[in-house]
Structure 1
Amino acid sequence: MEWKTGLLLLISYAVTIYAHPAPPTHVVHEKRDSLHRRWTKKSRVNPFSILPMRIGLLQRNIDDGPKYLLDVSDPDSPNYGKHWTTQQVIDFFQPGAETVQAVRGWLVNAGIAERRVTISENKAWVAFDATAHEAERLLHAEFHEYEDSVTGRVMPGCDVYHVPQEVGKHIDYITPGIKLLAPDVPSKRMKKRDTRVGGIAKPSRMVYAPSGSWTMPSSQNLSNCDVAITPACVAALYKIPPSGYEHPNPANVMGIYESEAQYYAQEDLNLFFANFTPNIPKDTHPSIVSIDGGPGPTNNVSEAGGEVELDLQLAYPIVYPQSIAIWQEDDAIYELNPNQTYTWGFNHLLDAIDGSYCTYSAYGETGDDPNLDPIYPDPAPGGYKGQLQCGVYKPPNVLSVSYGGQEAHVPWAYQRRQCNEYLKLGLQGTSFLFASGDAGVGNYPEPYSFDGPTGCLGPQGTIFNPTWPNNCPWVTNVGATKVYPGRTVFEPESAVYDPAGHPYHVNFSSGGGFSNVYKVPEYQKYAVETYFAQHNPPYPFYSAIVNDTDLIGSLGASGGIYNRIGRGIPDVAANGDNIATYTGGEFGLSGGTSASTPIFSAIVNRLNEERMNRGKSPVGFLNPALYKNPGVLNDITNGTNPGCGTLGFFAVKGWDPVTGLGTPNYPKMLELFLSLP
């Protein structure tokens, strides 16, 4: 018995150290040039350990996706508004039969039995389980364990792997491979655009109670809009008339995304309606699109979530009698657990509205990441016991999202994959609007984030830190403006800026800047080039597009602090400060780009109502039409968005990385979008 045990150990040791040099028929497919300082390479993976191998097949036409999205979104295109069906999108992007056959044939010839190989329904990926020994022999690689110094997580990976030369052209990536994915810290979650404590978004937005001699605003009083923004102030700012439809189009329900177990309380909505919008009947409420156990309303007003109530109390006065649906993602067990590692977010939302996304593969990622995304059924007591929801909901025409993070925190592969999905949903006519962030050109400093004492990047903490998923070219980003003290709604707004302590405990300024991951999209080039030509920022810059977020911190070696060739953020803006709200049964004032976003989104939903009632399609991806017609927006030319020890960028004539193209002018926007086919 001892002899057999020793022999097995010897065999195991021999297998572990055995190298598989690549033959001349194979080529390097991916290679890691350096290892980020957070990772430490450890011992070889046990040869008998089972690795879940995933091979991402190259999608057909993915590089042509932007061209076709612009074709249905550019107002000068003869195909404007001719959005694609879901099946058309799947058929257009799925890998070809030749690709599937080539990869399957390689695996079978290499000794992976055909019965072990699974091809996804949309032919986007190949899956099989293999021992580490099999994987090393197949890929002529050495798999080691890599330990993350931040989380303590250990992940398998390799420094380089090889595939047959004739097969390589069919493969996007293989995982486990060279990509190492882990969240920043065990407790860090996807951040809402609001005040943070310890890096975790609190279940409330930035809010404070008015002080001093102050009178509660009346429903139609416009004299105090510099103190409290009511629905009447918003309507006056953007010239929004009451809805002319008694019977709204049932196919045009506005979508509002919520996470972090945000419950709304009907009592708060009723207080708001009674005080500010008496035309909205008592007990008016949204429907709930529950994604993987997402919670509904609460009967305990003390549990009310500030974000969801802010969203609803801004959107309802604009869209009513149109309906609103809350797209509530993930059960409360995951959402409220401070130690869980749900870091990046949005995957389960995208799963729910596109079943193919559940298993979609690209850039080294396949489907949801078990290390980053919640797993269902949720084994925790009280957790959602159903299966992960895939393709069970039709996407809304408009989805307002007031959540996000920083570009540098999110694995390049993960964000690229999601960005492609926003493109595909844009092809189908969905408008995604994201809050641009509340910390200007950076992130909040410690202890409100984990980006160091400045909240910025680089060894000196001086490089601007752009937000995500705002960097994706296929979404519309919304920055924030403010009616400054002593000003009225009949005067131009300014970029929002509230220094720490006045009244929030952190600086609040409109998130903006330039991506390090995405270059300037075609529709934005003229606006960005004009901005640099006429209003050159007084800061040193660099010009680089990275294909690995681990490299972002090394940018600016020449002394530059922002990227000259990156996608510009934001695209547009709306009021985002001193917003009158009711939460927890109490009146308060709120702020954040999480206020700006539902305002702009609700206006887009109104535009869709007008178009659809004339037999036209929803507007879909907004940006090409807005950048070609900036005159439909109110240009903001005053204010900055400080951060990283600087004043940030300046709001100027034309587009700028503070307030984008400006705030909505509803009559002009309506005229434009009704004039389009």
Structure 2
Amino acid sequence: MCIRSLVLATTVTAVALSASATPLNPRFDYTVKESHNVPPQWSNIGNPDPLHHLTLNIGLQPNDFESLEHHLHQVSDPSHPRYGQHLTQEQVHDFLKPADETFDLVRAWLVDNSIDPSFCNINTARDWITVTLPVATIEQLLDTKYSVYEHQDGTRLVRTTSWSLPQALHEHITTIQPTTAFLRANPKGKTVLDVPIDVDLAQAVKVADAANTTTIRGACNFGGMTPKCLRTLYNTINYKPQVPNNNSIAFNNFLGEVSNRSDARTFLQNFRPDAVDSAYAGTQISINGGAYDNGTAPAGIEGNLDLETILGLVYPTPVTLYTTGGEPPFNADKFTPTNTNEPYLTWLLFLRDQDLSTIPKVISTSYGDHEQTVPPSYAKTVCNQFAALGAQGISLFFSSGDFGVGANSSCVTNDGKNRTAFMPSFPASCPYVTSVGGTMGYPEVVAYDTRNGFVSGSGFSNYFQRPKWQSTAVEDYLDSIGDQFQGLYNTSGRAYPDLSAQAYRYLVWLNGSVRSVDGTSCSAPTVASIFSLVNDALVAEGKSPMGWLNPWLYQSGFEAFTDVVNGSSIGCNGPGFGASDGWDAASGFGTPDFEKILDVLGVGVS
């Protein structure tokens, strides 16, 4: 990360630049690169301190992303001879690196604005430049004006609604953030929804201890979800990982969330005693000052949910905990560098430069926000980074959201027309991730909970067109619903979720006591865990891990899923997409059966 000189230097720079140009008197060669309207529920409350620091991520146009995309589809298509032959990190970097002309032009632009590139962070592929600058300098650099915006919940961000570049740079820079992105990735405590405990804890523990319980009804109380129930329901109960030293799984924490390993140990003592020693065995990786479990930090319910769910399902597979810093609310500290919550880019740029052998091949992320809170350029650029990971054999699972087709108060567009519309979620809408919806009960139905308003998220992207691998399944579903919801969603957009799992009343240990939570934050780590076990079985037979899942899922993998045909993703003060036979926009292809997945893949179970 590049932090310019101290107070005197940054002040001199800002003064020097102001002598040559101001946002009110723009330089003649600057034109607007991007504009993005303020999303609903945000208000401009004033100006930031001109010396407040922001960390800019400058994305450079890749030289050959189209070829990377072409290779990704080949190695992810089970009918292609190259299926499973994932790219090396060096190959991916070769596709993503910008042309020399692009890099030289952007570097010259920074120098012309008195920004020394030698103090900046340039990633290995040279397609991202990270530089920390005071707001006043950024305003000159991008010919713009920043403001402090406040969300109705109190979150504050320093953002602008439009920024410019010299015309000659428009084709060379993909995005610069933080500028117009109002993504919050959901404030902590809101990604999972707390509910009262409906089960006798002692009885739940007793069921978990019953080694001879083999039926779903015997292993499950659906008012209090446990690892024993999930392992029985999704048919992993009899599988013991064969090559845990050659396989691993990870999950993401953002927004100050901490996973408390002491709580995880207590959880495992009660619900997976044979795995209790794994609680402290996980690898913690802090990115950009992300929170760290040092034994004293208070736990986060999201972080504990992910850690406890995954440990309860994949033991003895190693688990990695990524924690990325960058957390609202904005604090007006003049000289403290902040990225005010651009979590995905920060995490992705870190991950892309790590030794590929150290990156877990399955990663679960239970965060998201409305797609319209970010400009299309940001969404596309971040989605392309997910594609780069998929090409290297990494499976990315994202929760589909917790408010159906949209929370009742949020279903208004920010396109200047203020239309009522369903609200797709990002990154769940990116085609290069696998989006996980939520179910409940048995037989499973689309999850909802009247106590807290939880409904499994679903939708159609307004930014990403429907990919070919999804066309048949989605178009069959659209034919079945006809004109229902006409005008409320993009009928040609990438549809999600892709699949589902239980998302109702998970028991979680938090700060020494048990809680019950809902949300697709439950189902995402559950599905990720199942596919981590799938990878274990593949690697044990000398085969490649799954990597980007979606082409396989829509071509043949769906045969291993239990169809969910009842329930609906209600929202926006009305009905939402309903479940039906086959793929649907409420539950995807339904829920996984581990042993059937291995059968479809032609993998034996030892």
The answer to whether the Cα contact below 8 Å between 2:159 and 2:182 also exists between their aligned partners in 1 is no
Matched, 1:419 2:383: yes
- Compare 468-477 and 222-231 and name the one that shifted more: 222-231
Deviation per CA, 1:13-69, whole angstroms, max 9, x where unpaired?
9976877656xxxx96847699999899x99xx9xxx99999754322223433221
1:534 Cα shift?
Answer: 2.3
How far did 1:88 drift? 0.8
In the other structure, the counterpart of 1:321 is 316
Query: In the aligned structure 2, how far is the partner of 1:401 from the partner of 1:112?
Result: 39
Measured after TM superposition, the shift of residue 403 of structure 1 is 1.6
Describe how 1:121-160 pairs up with structure 2 within 5 A.
122-124=125-127, 143=143, 145=145, 147=147, 150=150
- Could you list the per-position Cα deviations for residues 195-221 of structure 1 after superposition, in whole angstroms to 9, with x for gaps in the alignment? xxxx65369752422269994451145
Q: 2:399 aligns with which of 431, 435, 448?
A: 435
1-side partners of 2:599 and 2:541: how far apart?
13
Instruction: Indicate the residue corresponding to 1:218 in structure 2.
Output: 207
Q: 317-326 or 560-569, which moves further after superposition?
A: 317-326
Is it true that 1:287 corresponds to 2:214 in the alignment? Answer: no
- Supply the AA of the counterpart residue of 1:575: Q
- What is the aligned length? 562
Residue type of the partner of 1:646? G
What's the counterpart of residue 172 of structure 1? 173
For the residue of structure 2 that corresponds to 1:303, the secondary structure is coil
Equivalences for residues 99-498 of structure 1 within 5 A: 99-100=102-103, 120=122, 122-124=125-127, 143=143, 145=145, 147=147, 150=150, 163=167, 171-172=172-173, 180-181=179-180, 183=182, 189-191=184-186, 201=189, 205-210=193-198, 215-216=203-204, 218-219=207-208, 220=210, 222-223=217-218, 224-245=220-241, 248-282=243-277, 284-292=279-287, 293-297=289-293, 299=295, 303-330=298-325, 342-355=340-353, 394-443=358-407, 445=408, 454-458=409-413, 462-483=420-441, 488=442, 492-498=443-449
Matched, 1:65 2:53: no
Contact 2:579 / 2:586 at 8 angstroms: preserved in 1? yes
Aligned equivalent of 1:523 = 469
Measured after TM superposition, the shift of residue 611 of structure 1 is: 0.8
The secondary structure found in structure 2 opposite 1:479 is: strand
Say yes or no: does 1:591 pair with 2:518: yes
- Which residue is equivalent to 1:651? 579
Q: Distance in 1 between matches of 2:129 and 2:222?
A: 58
Give the secondary structure class of the aligned counterpart of 1:624. helix
- For residues 80 and 30 of structure 1, the distance between their equivalents in structure 2, rounded to whole angstroms, comes to 39
Unaligned runs of 5+ in 2: 1-14, 332-337
Letter in 2 for 1:653: D
How far apart, CA to CA, are the structure 2 residues paired with 1:278 and 1:127?
45
CA RMSD of aligned residues (A): 4.5
Relative to structure 1, the CA distance from residue 74 to residue 128 in structure 2 (aligned partners, 3 Å threshold; closer, same or farther) is closer
Specify which of 552, 563, 568 is matched with residue 640 of structure 1.
568
Shift of 1:12: 8.3
What's the CA shift for 1:520?
0.8
> Over residues 629-665 of structure 1, what are the superposed CA-to-partner deviations in whole Å (9 max), with x where a residue is unaligned?
2111111000001100112110111111111111001
Q: Is the 8 A contact 2:466 2:494 kept in 1?
A: yes
**Structure-2 separation of matches of 1:401 and 1:35:** 26
Distance 1:95 1:412 in 2: 20
Deviation at 1:315, TM superposition (A): 2.0
Change (3 A) 1:315 1:182: closer
Partner secondary structure for residue 237 of structure 2: coil
Q: Which residue of 2 aligns with 1:77?
A: 80
Q: Deviations over 1:425-445 (max 9, x none)?
A: 0011111101111111113x5
| 3-state SS of paired residue (1:612) | helix
| Distance in structure 2 (CA, Å) of the matches to 1:514 and 1:507 | 21
Which amino acid is 2:381 matched to? R
What percent identity do the matched residue pairs reach? 28
Contact preservation (8 Å) 1:573, 1:661: yes
> Do the aligned partners of 1:577 and 1:595 also contact (CA within 8 Å) in 2?
yes
Task: For residues 72-99 of structure 1, give each alpha carbon's deviation from its aligned partner in whole angstroms, at most 9, with x where no partner exists.
Answer: 1010111111111111111122123354
2:191–2:366 CA contact under 8 A, matched in 1: no
* Match of residue 559, structure 2, among 610, 620, 631: 631
Query: Is 1:568–1:657's contact at 8 Å kept on the other side of the alignment?
Result: yes
Is the contact between residue 438 and residue 508 of structure 1 (CA under 8 Å) also seen in structure 2?
A: yes
Q: For residue 370 of structure 1, what is the aligned residue in structure 2?
A: none
SS of alignment partner, residue 218 of structure 1: helix
Pair 106,589 (structure 1): closer, same or farther in 2 beyond 3 Å: closer
The structural deviation recorded for 1:105 is 8.4
When structure 1 is superposed on structure 2, of 456-465 and 401-410 the one drifting more is 456-465
Aligned equivalents of 2:79 and 2:192: distance in 1? Answer: 42
2:533 corresponds to: 606
Change (3 A) 1:589 1:567: same
CA distance, structure 2, for counterparts of residue 635 and residue 310 of structure 1: 26
For residues 391 and 209 of structure 1, do their structure 2 counterparts lie closer, same or farther at Cα, with a shift above 3 Å needed?
same
Distance 1:414 1:610 in 2: 36
The 3-state SS of whatever aligns with 1:562 is coil
Alpha-carbon distance between aligned partners in 2 of 1:36 and 1:516, rounded to the nearest angstrom: 15
Say whether the 8 Å CA contact 1:353–1:394 is kept in structure 2.
Answer: no
Does the 8 Å CA contact 1:291/1:348 hold for their aligned counterparts?
A: no
1:671 Cα deviation after fit: 1.7
> In the alignment, is the contact (CA less than 8 A) between 1:319 and 1:602 conserved in 2?
yes
Moved more, 230-239 or 648-657: 230-239
Distance in 2 between residues matched to 1:273 and 1:86, nearest whole Å: 36
2:91 is matched with: 88
Aligned partner of 1:206: which letter? Answer: D
Shift of 1:475: 0.3
Find 1:667's aligned residue among 589, 592, 595.
595
Partners of 1:316 and 1:619 lie apart in 2 by 20
8 Å Cα contact 1:634-1:662 kept in structure 2: yes
Deviation at 1:589, TM superposition (A): 2.8
Per-residue Cα deviation, 1:440-493 (whole angstroms, up to 9, x for no partner): 1113x5xxxxxxxx221237773111111111110001100001xxxx5xxx31
